[in-house]
């Protein structure tokens, strides 16, 4: 019942929040456009990056994601930049189709192998002036069962001799999700059947599948303060509203003692809020800096989280930059989340059920080390670029779940390797 | 097991961040509360950029958004279901 009240309340305020976000971006854009012109910082750059994510499992093949991406931006005059990018997620592995107990007489069967490819193209522009900036972009992502379009706009205005920067960002997503045609369920969540395959998705004339809409509005204002010649701090907030189908269409959940396995069922509406503070502190004697921040989060599904991050950046010799990163995140579970054992013995908490690790009480720690080679030829006569950077990074992500009957309990660690190359002119 | 989120904990975290901010500002403050253009040499270095490399940041957020229930609202598009 609490969820239903939250949802109705959210619908009443949704229009006002969207209008407020749009108004803020428009006002900030006008401020940026009317601000005095001056020397700006348009630049030309090309960069590529390859990320490999590997999450092994003690029970199956785990998950592997290969993520190449390329981006380019070009200066058109001193105040205008255009940019474009392309990225791919090549996902493969195995995951259980049914969230249920992994042991005992009611243990669910093993994982099902899968593979998918997601691609995304994007393009945009930046209009940069001495004390302000305005940017806009569009991206389109597609995979066999999901399509996403997003438009973004952001602005910044420098105030008080560049000592403060006011930033506003807004993004609107128009997403489409493929799902099994559950018309026969007659609106009864326990009768919903999961999607068996994406083979017929987004094809006309197919009666076994259907599509759902998901819209996402994200509004993020921030204020940055240059506190001292060696310290910058930023505070801000994030408001995100999601409206539409948010379940994993393939996933089923074992619910109740009668062995029913309906499709995962989540509320269609979600409001998410976060406040954050970040800072960067220079250590000139050591040719180093400390950066980091904290974030507090809660949403209308009763997920509450705290995240803290600290980075140490150190120049080594003339051309190397070494970075150490530590990040800790902990969260509570959604109000309708239960362990697989509790879903079976106690039944669902209301009309919703999920087998998503993101919605379970959990914590994780990310440790990272990165080494970058940075070359800046400066005033050398032969220089045809301003900066060249080649970097390699390795990260380990440790998960901590509070129950052996939590989703993906068999995956306790993930490894991320990343390499990049960038050339700036 | 993660400890429960409470208003008291949020307040303590906010207070800690405020103290850290004030402490750093006090420890390094010059004569004036505004930083002049000629004092920005250190701030201009890339290691002082709060966002880091935009491409790297986008890749990191894309990865974490699929593995945590809390997001920072970076407007990451897509999502799908295969990454869980």
Report ipTM (2 d.p.). Answer: 0.80
A1 band by pLDDT with thresholds 50, 70 and 90:
very low
Least confident of A35-39, A144-148, A377-381: A35-39
Residue A381 has pLDDT above 80, yes or no: no
Q: Are A323 and A370 contacting, i.e. CB atoms less than 8 angstroms apart? A: yes
**Cα angle A163-A217-B14, degrees, rounded to a multiple of 5:** 45
Residue boundaries of the structural domains of chain B: 38-67
Extract the tokens encoding A271.
Answer: 């409001």
B7 exposure class (CB count in 10 Å sphere: 0-12, 13-18, 19+)? exposed
Q: What is the mean pLDDT of chain B?
A: 67
CB contact under 8 A, B67 and A65: no
Chain A interface includes B9 (CB < 8 A):
yes
Cβ(B2)–Cβ(A330) under 8 Å? yes
B69 → closest Cβ in A140, A238, A331: A331
Q: What is the mean pLDDT of residues A73-83?
A: 92
Q: How many CA atoms lie within 13 A of A227 on its CB side?
A: 24
What residues does A395 pair with on adjacent strands?
A368, A416
> pTM of the predicted model, to two decimals?
0.83
d(CA A86, CA A70): 5
Which pLDDT band holds residue B70 (cuts at 50, 70, 90)?
A: confident
| pLDDT higher than 80, residue A36 | no
Does residue A257 surpass a pLDDT of 70? Answer: yes
Interface of B with A in 14-33 (CB under 8 A): 14, 16-17, 20-21, 24-25, 28-30
A31 pLDDT more than 70: no
Phi-psi region of A317 (alpha: psi -120 to 50; beta: other; left: phi over 0): left
Which B positions 43-82 lie with beta carbon below 8 A of chain A? 43, 45-50, 52-53, 55-56, 58-59, 62-63, 66-75, 77-82
Token digits of residue A88: 């791919």
Q: Is the pLDDT of residue A6 over 50?
A: no
Question: Taking a contact as any Cβ pair under 8 Å apart, which residues of chain A between 150 and 209 contact chain B?
Answer: 150, 152, 160-163, 169, 171, 173, 175
The C-alpha atoms of residue A167 and residue A153 are separated, in whole angstroms, by 11
Could you tell me the sign of the dihedral formed by the alpha carbons of A232, A48, A411, A325, in that order? negative
pLDDT at A3: 30
Question: Quick check: helix, strand or coil at residue A268?
Answer: coil
Q: Which A-chain residues 93-152 have CB contacts (< 8 A) with chain B?
A: 95, 114, 116, 118, 120, 139-141, 143, 145-146, 148-150, 152
Integer CA distances (angstroms), A227 to A159, A282, A294, A310, B25, in order: 13, 12, 18, 19, 6
Cα A345 to Cα A316: distance, rounded to the nearest angstrom: 58
The pLDDT of residue A233 is above 50: yes
pLDDT given for residue B44 in this prediction: 87
SS3 A57: coil
In sequence order, the 6+-apart residues with CB closer than 8 A to the CB of A365 are A326, A327, A328, A329, A397, A398, A400
Between CA A53 and CA A62, with CA A57 as vertex, the angle to 5 degrees is 50
């Amino acid at each position: 019942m609490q969820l239903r009240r939250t949802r109705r309340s959210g619908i009443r305020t949704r229009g006002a929040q969207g209008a407020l976000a749009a108004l803020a971006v428009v006002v900030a854009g006008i401020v940026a456009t009317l601000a005095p012109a001056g020397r700006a910082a348009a630049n030309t750059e090309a960069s590529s990056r390859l990320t490999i994510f590997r999450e092994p499992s003690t029970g199956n093949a785990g998950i592997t994601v290969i993520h190449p991406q390329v981006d380019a931006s070009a200066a058109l005059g001193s105040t205008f930049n255009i940019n474009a990018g392309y990225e791919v997620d090549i996902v493969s592995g195995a995951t259980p189709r049914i969230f249920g107990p992994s042991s005992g007489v009611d243990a669910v069967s093993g994982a099902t192998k899968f593979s998918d490819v997601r691609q995304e193209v994007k393009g945009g522009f930046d209009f940069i002036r001495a004390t302000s900036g305005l940017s806009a972009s569009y991206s389109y992502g597609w995979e066999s069962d999901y399509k996403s379009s997003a438009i973004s706009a952001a602005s910044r205005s420098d105030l008080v001799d560049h000592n403060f920067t006011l930033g506003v960002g807004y993004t609107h997503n128009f997403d489409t999700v493929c799902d099994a045609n559950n018309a026969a369920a007659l609106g009864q969540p326990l009768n919903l059947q999961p999607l068996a395959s994406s083979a017929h998705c987004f094809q006309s004339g197919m009666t076994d599948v259907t599509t759902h809409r998901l819209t996402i509005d994200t509004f993020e204002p921030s204020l940055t303060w240059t506190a001292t010649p060696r310290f910058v701090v930023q505070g801000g907030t994030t408001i995100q509203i999601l409206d539409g189908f948010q379940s994993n269409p393939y996933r089923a959940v074992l619910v109740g003692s009668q062995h029913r396995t309906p499709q995962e069922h989540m509320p269609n509406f979600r409001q998410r809020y976060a406040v954050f503070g970040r800072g960067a502190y220079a250590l000139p004697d050591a040719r180093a800096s400390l950066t980091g921040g904290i974030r507090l989060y809660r949403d209308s599904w009763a997920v509450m989280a705290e995240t803290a991050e600290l980075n140490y950046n150190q120049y080594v010799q003339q051309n190397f930059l070494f970075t150490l990163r530590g990040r800790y995140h902990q969260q509570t579970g959604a109000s309708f989340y239960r362990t697989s054992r509790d879903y079976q013995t106690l039944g669902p908490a209301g009309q919703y059920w999920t087998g998503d690790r993101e919605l379970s009480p959990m914590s994780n720690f990310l440790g990272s080390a990165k080494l970058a080679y940075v070359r800046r030829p400066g005033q050398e006569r032969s220089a045809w670029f301003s900066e060249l950077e080649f970097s390699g990074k390795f990260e380990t992500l440790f998960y901590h779940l509070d129950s052996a009957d939590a989703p993906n309990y068999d995956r306790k660690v993930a490894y991320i390797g990343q390499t990049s190359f960038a050339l700036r002119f | 097991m993660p400890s429960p989120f409470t208003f008291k904990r949020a307040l303590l975290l906010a207070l800690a961040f405020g103290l850290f901010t004030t402490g750093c500002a006090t420890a390094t403050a010059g004569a004036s509360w505004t930083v002049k253009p000629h004092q920005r040499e250190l701030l201009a270095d890339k290691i002082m950029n709060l966002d880091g490399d935009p491409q790297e940041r986008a890749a990191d957020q894309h990865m974490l958004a699929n593995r945590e229930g809390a997001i920072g609202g970076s407007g990451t598009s897509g999502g799908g279901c295969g990454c869980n």
